[in-house]
A and B are shown apart, each in its own frame.
Chain A
Amino acid sequence: MAIHKGLSLRGIGAKAIDSVLRLGYAARFIARTAASSGTSLRRPRLVIRELYFTGVLSLIIILVSGLFVGMVLGFQGYHTLQTYGSESALGVLVALSLVRELGPVVAALLFASRAGSAMTAEIGLMKATEQLSAMEMMAVDPIARVVAPRFWAGVISMPLLAAMFSAMGIFGGYLVGVVLIGVDEGSFWSQMQSAVDFREDIMNGVIKSVVFGFAVTWISLFEGYDAPPTAEGVSGATTRTVVTSSLAILALDFLLTAFMFRGV
């Protein structure tokens, strides 16, 4: 029994040390990626190619989800606001919830499951099929050639996707609120214009989406690069990417919101 207890204690210790080690690896990994970004700057084509895969190919899911989220907001918002007789504020409600919260957060969650998992699987498989070793054997640094362009593509495309998600959502809210239910179009837009502040609302939303883009891309690339080179390893890494990214997005969102909107 004593041996068993010792073993499990040791197991907990080993797990704790292991997770701290992995965190350290991840930090060194992102530092190396940032330091090896010279190639991406010199050859922007590499980044543009990845922008297509992470950004453009995520557009459909982002736009469609944005539309539906906005339409649901239209219904729910109208239902609640109508009780207080202030349905003309529907535009403000839809725009603020999207720009401040739902846009960055939902777009980042979708981005993690669409583009993040794809990045992890791709890099994990490149490792498993020795493509990364082959690159190293050709004296080409895989971090500079494969990882860094994907990293910058992720960081750049995330705020753009979040902005398009919000725009599409506002359009959805307009469709339901104005076209379907018949809220006054003038007050829908004019109240939105006067209530949404560029710095307080839009810029903070952009900052959030940049941070989420950084976090999701970092997690995805690290999981892929660190994946055991087997089928099992890659599938495990892909799952971890989605789970860890989603938790990171929500935790970071809480922190950022706490800092940004205090006292407002």
Chain B
Amino acid sequence: MLLQRMARFWHIAVRRAPRSDCDSTIQPLKSPACGVFPRIARTFAVPDKNIIEIKDVSFAYGKRPILTGINMSIPRGATVAIMGISGSGKTTLLRLIAGVMKANQGEVWVDGQRVNDLDGAGIYRLRRRLGMMFQFGALFTDLSVFDNVAFQMREHTDLPPAMIRDLVMMKLHAVGLRGAHRMMPAELSGGMARRVALARAIALDPMLMLYDEPFTGLDPIAMGVIRNLITELNSALGATSIVVTHDVQEALEVVDYVYYLSKGKMVAHGTPDEFRQTTDPLVRQFVYGEIDGPEAFHYHARPLAEDLRLSAGGDN
């Protein structure tokens, strides 16, 4: 009793946001704006042209700036890459879009909603329409492949088990792992785990797919499989995809448009062909993997002679 009252109090006091159509107590079939059929909703809604608008966004951890003055717009249905070397702030940008963190300055708009203004419940409502594939899959290790893919359906919908089974099998079939549905994540290879993660991410047919380093640490075949799946799923779902990566060649083959980040700033953007033929030294160094250039090989340090104690200044 006490617990129930506490839970109710929590709903009233903290989660004051009104219950929406997307609430888990309502059958998704009756509310096409969310759940398993978001695409139906899109045909009725009047969509903005751009699903994502990022206006002059800055973000800092304490005093350490991570992103400064980012502007970006991503049209619906596009596949876009955000590239940059490690530590350039691309994952942070992805997190700002998903509402994991909020921008210190500027505005992030996703599907007509200003993410800066959303409260916890609003962010959760938005996330139900996002799919995210993590760098190493982030599968739930205590659940089987089947249960991993079924996870969101069970949490957010009241679909009967038979329908969940069919949907899960279809998703697993799409990534070629229907036969592995009984396996546990520990039994999967890296590439298979990534494919299961992909199936899990598309479980509720998201309108926006976020891929965090989807190619890292995969063998060439697995990489090709994931690359194909990203393209195929994008056209099958009609979703928008954002791929955060530093695997240049893979990404350039998959995406329609590329944004390039360096030290928290958006320094270049263009189509993959423009990127391949660029004369910008910063982008060239990245695309062709030159070890030294505008992105210095050496981390900021004192002059070598000082560190080797060859000069008067290096005696400490």
Please indicate the chain A residues that have their CB under 8 angstroms from the CB of B159 in the complex: none
A35, A38, A129, A137: the one within 8 Å of B127 (CB): A137
Residue of A nearest to B11 (CB): A38
Q: Are B136 and A129 in contact (CB under 8 A)?
A: yes
| Known A-B contacts A131-B138, A131-B140; A137 and B10 likewise in contact (beta carbons under 8 Å) | no
Please indicate the chain B residues that have their CB under 8 angstroms from the CB of A34 in the complex: 3, 6
Q: Give the residues from 127 to 152 in chain A that come closer than 8 angstroms, CB to CB, to chain B.
A: 129-131, 133-141, 145
Q: Does A187 contact B (CB under 8 A)?
A: no
Residue of B nearest to A122 (CB): B142
A50 to chain B, nearest CB (A): 11
Q: Does B46 contact A (CB under 8 A)?
A: no
| Known A-B contacts A35-B6, A35-B7, A138-B151; A133 and B127 likewise in contact (beta carbons under 8 Å) | no
Please indicate the chain A residues that have their CB under 8 angstroms from the CB of B9 in the complex: 35
CA distance A37 to B1 in the complex (A): 12
Q: Give the residues from 108 to 127 in chain B that come closer than 8 angstroms, CB to CB, to chain A.
A: 124-125, 127
| Known A-B contacts A133-B138, A137-B98; A37 and B7 likewise in contact (beta carbons under 8 Å) | yes
**Hey, what's the 0/1 contact readout for A23-55 against B, CB within 8 Å counting as 1?**
000000000001111100100000000000000
Q: Are B100 and A36 in contact (CB under 8 A)?
A: no
Q: Are B100 and A134 in contact (CB under 8 A)?
A: no
Q: Are A137 and B152 in contact (CB under 8 A)?
A: no
CA distance A134 to B196 in the complex (A): 13
Q: Are A38 and B140 in contact (CB under 8 A)?
A: no
| Known A-B contacts A35-B10, A35-B14; A136 and B136 likewise in contact (beta carbons under 8 Å) | no
A74 to chain B, nearest CB (A): 41
Q: Does B130 contact A (CB under 8 A)?
A: yes
Q: Are A139 and B128 in contact (CB under 8 A)?
A: yes
A40 to chain B, nearest CB (A): 9
| Known A-B contacts A139-B124, A140-B152, A140-B155; A37 and B136 likewise in contact (beta carbons under 8 Å) | no
Please indicate the chain B residues that have their CB under 8 angstroms from the CB of A130 in the complex: 134-136, 138
Please indicate the chain B residues that have their CB under 8 angstroms from the CB of A145 in the complex: 155
CA distance A122 to B98 in the complex (A): 26
Number of interface residues of B (CB under 8 A): 28
A131 to chain B, nearest CB (A): 5
Q: Does B156 contact A (CB under 8 A)?
A: yes
Residue of B nearest to A145 (CB): B155
Please indicate the chain A residues that have their CB under 8 angstroms from the CB of B138 in the complex: 129-131, 133-134
CA distance A126 to B142 in the complex (A): 10
Please indicate the chain A residues that have their CB under 8 angstroms from the CB of B132 in the complex: 134, 137
Q: Does B141 contact A (CB under 8 A)?
A: yes
Q: Are B136 and A138 in contact (CB under 8 A)?
A: no
- Select the residue from B141, B155, B156 with max chain A CB neighbours within 10 A: B155
Please indicate the chain A residues that have their CB under 8 angstroms from the CB of B6 in the complex: 34-35, 37
CA distance A126 to B139 in the complex (A): 9
Residue of B nearest to A125 (CB): B141
CA distance A122 to B142 in the complex (A): 10
CA distance A122 to B143 in the complex (A): 13
Q: Does B316 contact A (CB under 8 A)?
A: no
A153 to chain B, nearest CB (A): 14
Please indicate the chain A residues that have their CB under 8 angstroms from the CB of B124 in the complex: 139, 141
Residue of B nearest to A130 (CB): B138
CA distance A36 to B3 in the complex (A): 10
Please indicate the chain B residues that have their CB under 8 angstroms from the CB of A126 in the complex: 140-141
| Known A-B contacts A35-B14, A37-B6, A38-B7; A139 and B127 likewise in contact (beta carbons under 8 Å) | yes
Q: Does B4 contact A (CB under 8 A)?
A: yes
B196 to chain A, nearest CB (A): 12
Please indicate the chain A residues that have their CB under 8 angstroms from the CB of B140 in the complex: 126, 131, 134-135
- Select the residue from B14, B125, B140, B156 with max chain A CB neighbours within 10 A: B140
Counting from the closest, the 6 A-B pairs by CB-CB distance are A38-B7, A35-B10, A130-B138, A134-B138, A139-B124, A139-B127
Show 8 residue pairs from A and B whose CB-CB distance is below 8 angstroms, ordered by the A residue.
A37-B7, A38-B4, A126-B141, A129-B138, A137-B98, A138-B155, A140-B151, A141-B124
- For the A-B complex with A36-B10, A138-B155, A139-B155 known, give 13 more contacts whose Cβ atoms are closer than 8 Å: A35-B9, A35-B10, A37-B6, A37-B7, A126-B140, A130-B135, A131-B141, A133-B100, A134-B138, A135-B140, A137-B132, A139-B125, A139-B156
